[in-house]
Amino acid sequence: MIDPKTLLERAAQLADQAKGEKDTGIRERLLRMAEHYRDLAAHEAWAHENPPSVGAITSALSSRAH
């Protein structure tokens, strides 16, 4: 599990880097990467707040065996 704060910090770094980029293609790519990091941070935060139960894991694993 990755700390959401670390992902958000990286997103901010990429967004700042994009602000100084003159090439529009590179700037847009940096902004997309920053958005991806923000999405990952939200997913990690949700996963941390909603850990899977042992029953859910067992059920998922047993359904794969069949």
Question: Total structural domains in the chain?
Answer: 1
Segments forming the whole domain that contains residue 25: 4-65
Q: pLDDT at position 12, please?
A: 98
Q: For the segment 16-64, what is each residue's pLDDT rounded down to a tens digit? A: 999 999 999 999 999 999 999 999 999 999 988 888 777 777 777 886 6
Distance CA 59, CA 62 (A): 5
Q: State how far the Cα of 37 lies from the Cα of 40, in Å rounded to an integer.
A: 5
Check if the beta carbon of residue 33 is closer than 8 Å to that of residue 63.
Answer: no
How far does CA 14 lie from the centroid of its chain?
14
d(CA 18, CA 49): 31
- Cα–Cα distance measured from residue 19 to residue 45, given in angstroms and rounded to the nearest whole number: 27
Give the pLDDT confidence score for residue 26 in this predicted structure: 97
Is pLDDT at 5 greater than 80 in this prediction? Answer: yes
